[in-house]
Chains A and B, each alone.
Chain A
Amino acid sequence: NAGVTQTPKFQVLKTGQSMTLQCAQDMNHEYMSWYRQDPGMGLRLIHYSVGAGITDQGEVPNGYNVSRSTTEDFPLRLLSAAPSQTSVYFCASSYVRPSTGELFFGEGSRLTVL
């Protein structure tokens, strides 16, 4: 199993550009989520999904969109990038709800917005 795969690993954007961070998992996990990691602020939940067709907002959803058309994929879209969105982004999945089992993280995507 590849686990949780994120692409791209690195990306530089200009303010106002759009892009999509891809996340795929091959563990048949129902739960998938996106976190951003910033120095001194830990991991903050952006959006999460409890299954195909079901998404919900986390702690810091503004400026990000998500959709879940399949169990395997959970892309994160930035519609109009801002410098405040410079961060490392992690996709994470779990077989059950995260309050009962381990979250499996991808390797991260480092995004810089100029």
Chain B
Amino acid sequence: GENVEQHPSTLSVQEGDSAVIKCTYSDSASNYFPWYKQELGKRPQLIIDIRSNVGEKKDQRIAVTLNKTAKHFSLHITETQPEDSAVYFCAASEGSNDYKLSFGAGTTVTVRA
């Protein structure tokens, strides 16, 4: 099955600075890579996703990049704001089973005012 590793586990940034979270995956046939944000005590929610035929995708202050050769993808948050404080999870689909998503362990992001 797919193995997704996520780093760092915690990240503290000054408001206005950028935050970068990196994930690696093991299944070279994986083709879908979503990112979910979970605020304290809330449910995870999709914030951005990328497919294997695209190298980069942006949505306002967030962007995701994918390097298929190296099997890693990253989430970039620019101009961080207090509301960006949350746990972020990366995920990857299994190449042999489209019905399975494997999640990373999560990154707790804290934005300092």
Check if A and B associate. Answer: yes
Question: What 1/0 mask marks residues of chain B from 1 to 21 whose CB sits below 8 Å from any chain A CB?
Answer: 100101001000000000000
- Do B103 and A43 touch across chains, with their CB atoms under 8 A apart? yes
**Which residues 1-58 of B have a CB within 8 angstroms of A?**
1, 4, 6, 9, 31-32, 34, 36, 42-46, 49
A58 near B32 with CB under 8 A, answer no
Is A53 an interface residue, CB under 8 A from the partner? no
Is there a chain A Cβ closer than 8 Å to B83's Cβ?
A: no
In the assembly, what is the distance between CA of A48 and CA of B98, in Å? 12
If A99-B93, A100-B32 touch, does A90 touch B43 (CB 8 Å cutoff)?
Answer: yes
Give bound CA distance, A99 to B101, whole Å: 7
- Bitwise, A88-114 to B at CB < 8 A (1) or not (0) is 001000000111101101111000000
The reply to whether B43 and A42 form a contact with Cβ atoms under 8 Å apart is: no
* Main SS class of interface, A: loop
* Contact (Cβ within 8 A) B98 A97: yes
Give Cα A100–Cα B45 distance, bound, in whole angstroms.
15
Q: Bound complex: CA of A41 vs CA of B102, how far in Å?
A: 11
Q: Which of B79-113 contact A (CB under 8 A)?
A: 89, 91, 93-94, 98-106
Partner of B6, one of A31, A42, A59, A106: A42
Give Cα distance in the complex from A50 to B103, angstroms.
Answer: 19
| Closest chain A CB from B56 CB (angstroms) | 20
Residues of A within 8 A of B (CB): 31, 35, 40-45, 48, 50, 56, 58-59, 90, 97-100, 102-103, 105-108
B interface residues (Cβ-Cβ under 8 A, vs A): 1, 4, 6, 9, 31-32, 34, 36, 42-46, 49, 89, 91, 93-94, 98-106
Given A98-B93, A102-B34, A103-B101, 7 additional A-B pairs, CB 8 A: A31-B99, A97-B99, A99-B31, A99-B99, A102-B46, A103-B36, A103-B46
